[in-house]
Structure 1
Amino acid sequence: MTSPHEGDDEGSAAESEPLACARCGVLAEGTPPTWTLSVENGVRLHCCERCSRENLRAIEGRLDSRWW
């Protein structure tokens, strides 16, 4: 029996490329623990620590009330 993701290289290709901040474009190797990740319209967007801090209120405003 085969896995539904067998032969699917989509995840490995994305992981080998450096991450770019969706707001300012700064590049990072690996996944820094201080960056944020959001999924908007099915697209994964990463934001660097500086942009995350500068936009914290907007990020929190989009959370469901159960996270408060």
Structure 2
Amino acid sequence: MTSPHEGDGDEGSATEPEPPACARCGVRAAGPPPTWTLSVENGVRLHYCERCSRENLRAIEGRLDSQWW
């Protein structure tokens, strides 16, 4: 049995924003908002998945001002 709205072109509508995608590997979040790293680079908000965040932790920390240490 199919839904009455199945295939009617409403996928990705303005009322249902797409889940964020990792700026490094491109994986999309599944389910509720993820606990990913958020970075603002040149005024653009970028999300990084947990795996990419962990793998690049030293590079992320290296960009922090010394006051954060």
TM-score by length of 1: 0.72
Aligned to 2:33: 31
Shift of 1:62: 0.5
Q: Which amino acid aligns with 1:39?
A: V
Partner of 2:9: none
Q: Which residue number in structure 2 is paired with residue 58 of structure 1?
A: 59
Q: Across the two proteins, how many residue pairs are aligned to each other?
A: 54
Over 2 Å off, 4+ runs:
none
In 1, Cα distance between equivalents of 2:39 and 2:26:
15
Q: What TM-score comes out, normalization by structure 2 length?
A: 0.71
Q: Does 1:44 align with 2:45?
A: yes
Q: CA RMSD in A?
A: 1.5
Report which of the two has the higher share of strand. 1
Whichever of the two has the greater Rg, that structure is 2
- Aligned identity (percent) is 83
